[in-house]
Chain A
């Protein structure tokens, strides 16, 4: 436990002492704020024009602005995550190996599990900190909406993005543990993410293969969360996804002793 905390602390220090955290959080906030504003304007515009139409033709067509904006915004977040996480995870092990500090960690009285979990939770914390300010946009929007949408929708959506992000971070850190080269780690991670995204296309097909592919898609389960639905299938899916790759990372770190370092 002491080992886990030491690693976690060191990783957080690494993010926040170097410019990494600030660059990430800053750029992410600029992009997400821009898109949030864009979606909000677009949906309000749409709702106003539909109001005018309903006045003219007497066909009331309600648009639930907060829900629409929330869904669009979280859809965008998942795309940003796709691009950001490979850069966030590429150095987690590759850099340690290249610098030779892996040798320090592995000859210290801490276990591989301490190392892997410490690093994983540190990257997840950074990810959560990056998302945190966006909560203010949505809470503000909800507070100004009439009637106020239930906050649990937001909670579900944030749980969804954290689970999605956690899964991608687990996969990314695993791939980083396989190589000494950060660029290779980033490219492999990005390719793996795209592949997973592509699995989602299977939903339009039919048959058993399609249903398996649909179940495996990281995006599909995420969409349930953004609609405010916390589905146990999704929870189990993401939990097993993270567990699998954290476990594989432990094995991979362990195997560094056997592979030629």
Chain B
């Protein structure tokens, strides 16, 4: 549904998006994950026809974003970073206006507006002036606006910003319920959001794609794979020596000394290797007391940090 090929956007000498390629299949939810300033918003603005790319192509529903911009715009619903609302309008007149500029035919307008209000839980606020709404409600109006014309593709730039935890859950459920019939691209810098809502994740940093995968795969396989947590009663130097002999174990981290005299240690295992039994065997062989031994999968947060910091260390900008 969305095909992006070598998309590049430069502001003068600053490259905001650097040869980005990815595709989003019909009915899929793709998460766009990256720190602030990574190029998420720029990519979305190119996809929605708000600004042109410097080079590369992007197609939405088969239409090129540069040459068939109007056709593309007919097929997308877009929530920009800040909800694009008019403070002097009521929620309903605003949605009516959006439905009109999105070419919703007159006979379907009322039904579409009601549907958008229901999906975003705004029915009881329909006659409220937007300027009297709280930040979270404004954000929901912004989401309703992106749904009102029932577009094939929905592009949401940080949809849960400014919402309280309960609303965040509601919005995530809403997004999940839209999948299947709609294709969704959403950006966020909140990691749990991605693992909870998205089918696939694109991690982007400094305008470049760092990884594309499912949240599960990213968590279990990518970069370092597994971490093992170990709690033993042993001398620190001896333990380090033993762990160094285990093939595939690296980055031994000893936590600060604890009152019970046990050593808590984190070890990272190479991808695809389970070194737990080897460690257990060594510890038992030495006669140390083994209190805990378990695999901890790297959280998306850590993968994210690793990917994004990795990237900056070997891609020193020239100026």
Contact = CB atoms under 8 A, between A and B. Distances in A.
The answer to whether A and B come from one shared complex is yes
Interface in A9-26: 9-10, 13-14, 17-18
B221 to A, nearest CB: 37
Given A111-B70, A258-B51, A99 B84 contact: yes
A24 to B, nearest CB: 15
A101 B87 CA distance: 11
Interface string B69-83: 011011010101111
B101 A6 contact: yes
Contact of B11 (A5, A14, A111, A260): A260
Contacts of B82: 100
Contacts of A109: 70-71, 73-74, 101-103
Interface of B: 11, 45, 48-52, 70-71, 73-74, 76, 78, 80-89, 93, 97-98, 100-103, 145
List 5 tightest A-B contacts by C-beta distance, closest first.
Answer: A6-B100, A104-B84, A107-B48, A109-B74, A108-B101
15 contacts: A2-B100, A10-B86, A13-B93, A14-B88, A17-B89, A99-B87, A103-B50, A103-B78, A104-B101, A106-B50, A107-B48, A107-B73, A109-B74, A109-B101, A111-B70
Interface of A: 2-3, 5-7, 9-10, 13-14, 17-18, 99-101, 103-111, 257-258, 260-261
A104 B94 CA distance: 12
Contacts of A5: 100
A9 B100 contact: yes
Contacts of A3: 100-101, 103
Given A104-B84, A109-B74, A257 B100 contact: no
Looking at B11, B50, B74, B93, which has the most chain A CB atoms within 10 Å of its CB? B50
A10 B84 contact: no
Nearest to B12: A260
A17 B86 CA distance: 12
B98 A104 contact: yes
Contacts of B98: 104, 108
Given A3-B101, A107-B50, 14 more contacts: A2-B100, A9-B97, A10-B86, A13-B89, A18-B88, A99-B84, A103-B50, A104-B84, A106-B50, A108-B98, A108-B101, A109-B73, A111-B70, A257-B50
Nearest to B87: A99
B73 A108 contact: yes
Contact of A101 (B71, B85, B103): B85
A104 B103 contact: no
B84 A257 contact: no
B78 A99 contact: no
B73 A101 contact: no
A63 B83 CA distance: 62
A48 to B, nearest CB: 51
Contacts of A257: 50-52
Contacts of A108: 73, 98, 101-102
Contacts of B88: 14, 17-18
Contact of A6 (B71, B78, B97): B97
Nearest to B77: A107
Nearest to B86: A101
Nearest to B70: A109
Contact of B49 (A7, A18, A106, A260): A106
A258 B93 contact: no
Given A17-B89, A107-B50, A109-B70, A10 B103 contact: no
A175 to B, nearest CB: 22
Contacts of A9: 97, 100
